[in-house]
Amino acid sequence: MIKGNLLMLYLVLAQFSNAQQVPQYTQWFLHQFSVNPAHAGIKQCVDIHSLYRMQWVGIDGAPDSGFLSVSIPLQARKRRIFSARHGTGFKFETDRIGQFSTNRINAAYAAHFNFNKTDRLSLGLYAGVIQTGYDPSSSTTVDPDPEVMQQANFLSPDATIGAWFNSENYFAGLTLKNLFRSKWTDIGNDSRYRAHLAISGGYRLKVKENITFLPSIILRIPPRNPVSADITLYADYKNIFGLGIGYRSGDAINAILTFKIKEQFSISYSYDITVTAIQSVAKNTHELSLRFTTCKPNRSGPANCPLFE
């Protein structure tokens, strides 16, 4: 079992260093500001989200990540058509996998342009720093390798740009992360951060007075790996209870449960079942998130998915 865990961890680390350098979240569509800076201040209230993800439980050194984000409107009242509203906020995100750790802190700014009462284009920017760490104390090699056994801890600039468009019942988003191709100091010969592109979209479908479906998809396009897709079907009942199922291509199937507490608090839990070879030593992934908003929910008409408020 120990050998199996070490082999799987090696495969995980290889994927991290060569392709996916940003965390992936099953609940991404419920936490759009954590994905896209263009969502900063998009709603006319303060919105606070936190999430913790434990991936591949059972493997030592498996991915362990989470974030805290705060979105704040700068102009609460809508202006005339084509004039811009503004938003700001910040996000702290941490990600650990094996001997690697990253901590990012970013401030956000976004401008929101309303073409009419329902159609809106938003453009946003994250800017901040990444703290990258590498601790080889738990690593062993057959032969001494200074490239592997040298400890590292350094800061580098971080930036993400994002665009978002939504109408009354659909949305589309685009982000480009890791705009600075900062080299990983003292880690490997040519290790560096590389740009990651993500494209997302979804549609809100009212099936009954109090029930709304939200099918959504996100395509993640890393620089050196195949494109991955998260496909989710989420149902909301009276803005009180939500249930969803999803699939991540070549990785896992998942289920999501959301419950509102005292109107402005909500808690969400998701459970992933791994479908790759890693399931032989670690089948399960868990996510738990909390949200608080100063917005008052509207219980009448179609469910007010946070994307369209």
pLDDT of 219-249, one tens digit each?
Answer: 999 887 889 999 999 999 988 899 999 999 9
CA gap 250, 280 in Å, rounded = 15
Given pLDDT bands bounded at 50, 70 and 90, which one contains residue 211?
very high
CA gap 88, 71 in Å, rounded = 6
Contact (CB, 8 A) for 82 and 116 = no
CA gap 305, 246 in Å, rounded = 18
CATH, residue 151: 2.40.160.40
List pLDDT tens digits, range 27-82.
Answer: 999 999 999 999 999 988 899 999 999 988 878 778 899 999 999 999 655 556 66
CA gap 136, 8 in Å, rounded = 17
Q: What is the pTM of this model?
A: 0.84
Which position has the token pair 């030593």?
Answer: 281
Given pLDDT bands bounded at 50, 70 and 90, which one contains residue 18?
very low
The total domain count for the chain is 1
Which position has the token pair 């759009």?
Answer: 32
| Residue 277 belongs to domain spanning | 2-308
Residue 139 is predicted with a pLDDT of 62
Q: Which is more confident, 112 or 137?
A: 112
Asked if residue 8 has pLDDT above 50, the reply is: no
Joined together, the tokens standing for residue 143 give 């032969």
**Number of other residues whose CB lies within 10 A of the CB of residue 130:** 22
CA gap 65, 16 in Å, rounded = 13
The DSSP-derived string for 203-261 is E-EEEETTEEEEEEEEEEE-SSS--EEEEEEEEEETTTEEEEEEEETTTEEEEEEEEEE
